[in-house]
Each structure stands twice: as C-alpha cells, then as structure tokens.
Amino acid sequence: MGMILVLAFWAVAILLLSLASGLLTLPFSCLLCKRQRKRKMLLCFLTPGTALCTYAAGSFVCMVVIAVILGTDIGIGDSWSAALKNHYELASTDAPENGGICRKDDPCGEVLVSEVTHLQVLGDSVIGKADGSYFIFNLKNGIHTDSLTYQELTRHISPSTIHLVDNSTYYREQRKTAYAIAGILCLLLTALSVWLLWRIGLHGFQKKLQEL
C-alpha cells in the first residue's frame, strides 16, 4: 500500500474515531457538568479529536525527522530502508522479509546483494544470509563474497560473534530508541494541546464575560 493511501486511510480512521469518541463523551458531560454545561459538553466532544489529531500529527513529524537523521524510511507505505555504513543501506519493497544491499547515492539503484533475509553489522562488514546461503560484504570497498556455506562463513568470522537477525528485526532495532523518545514527546504535546483547549475554552470564555 502506497504512502498516500496509508495516510488517507489513517486520516479517515482518526476522523471517525474522533467523532465516535466525542459523541460518547456527551452523555457523561451532560450528567456530570452543572455549570457552563453546554460549553463543557462542546469541550468534551472536541477533546478526543484534539488528542488524536495532535498525537497523529506529532508522530508523523517525528517519523520524518527520524528518517532524515537515521537515514531510514519514514515508516509508512510499502518500502523499508535502514542505513548501514559508508552510504550503504538495506532496502526492501513490498515485504521486509526480503531485502537488498545497495548504495544510497547510486542513481541507478543497483542492488549489490539481493534476497537478503538475515544480517548483522560487524565493524566495517556486513554478514548475512541471502537466497539460502551466506555472504560477507565489505562496507569500505563494496567487495562481497557470496554463496558461502555456514562452515565457510565461520572460517572468516568467529562463530561466537555471529548473531544474525531477520530484516524486520534489524529495521525495528535501528529506530526503536528514537521512536520511544518520540512517543513520549508526542504524549506530552498531546496533553499540552488538551490542556490548552480547556484553558482557552473555559477561562477565555469567562474573561470575555467579565469584560462584558
């Protein structure tokens, strides 16, 4: 699914969820609010939508910033990419299970190692599994040795240091910490937006009444 379709889907989903959540708050706000009932009912109706939209917008901005800083994909759509070293990257299309190693600055987008399913970065090299066999890729000069058996791989790399992970895990691990920090920031921003909504909605209205 392309990025535009994903964004459109989430926009519609957030809109419907905001509307449904807002409607659910109305009976409770009607029963619990005695003073300024109509205004508080309106604020209760707007609160879920404000929270969801703020969190979604903040998350999207954070995802773009993280993608630029870490050299990864945005995290939306049907393509995945994660930086390796020296302008090399692991990239996948349609499904993260199968990827390829290529250079970011290559205008032709030549795939140097294809059908990569597992990998591990060791210093200036990448070892991994591709198309049922193992490979070693030098991130300094781009030289790679393919079609290795596990025994042949262990002649170059100590077995105790080999800890291959699948592509999905590698993509996730590259941005896990950044996403956790971004999630906390988005929650704080969401709480602030809801607080401002009620602050302006209640106190701003009271101030206008006093001026009148």
Both 156 and 118 in one domain: the answer is yes
**pLDDT (average), residues 124-138:** 94
pLDDT at 204 over 70: no
Residue, of 157 and 7, whose pLDDT is higher: 157
C-alpha dihedral (94, 95, 98, 103), degrees to nearest 10: 50
Claim to verify: residue 166 and residue 83 sit in the same structural domain: yes
Q: What local confidence, expressed as pLDDT, does residue 212 receive? A: 45
Co-location of 169 and 135 in the same domain: yes
Secondary element (H or E) of residue 88: strand 88-93
Does residue 206 surpass a pLDDT of 70? no
96 lies in the same domain as 145:
yes
Range of the domain at 124: 79-174
Do 63 and 99 lie in one domain? The reply is: no
Give pTM, 2 decimals.
0.79
Residues 157 and 115 in one domain: yes
Residues 29 and 110 both lie in one domain: no
Identify whether residues 98 and 164 lie together within a single domain.
Answer: yes
Q: Mean per-residue pLDDT for 172-197?
A: 95
Cβ neighbourhood burial of 9 (10 Å; 0-12, 13-18, 19+) = exposed
**Least confident stretch, 31-40, 152-161, 166-175:** 31-40
Residues 167 and 184 in one domain: no
- pLDDT value, residue 155: 92
Does residue 67 sit in the same domain as residue 93? no
Q: Which pLDDT score is estimated for 7?
A: 84
| Pair 88, 168 in one domain | yes
The answer to whether residue 208 scores a pLDDT higher than 80 is: no
pLDDT of 122: 93
Structural domain total, the chain: 2
17, 85: one domain: no
pLDDT value at position 32?
74
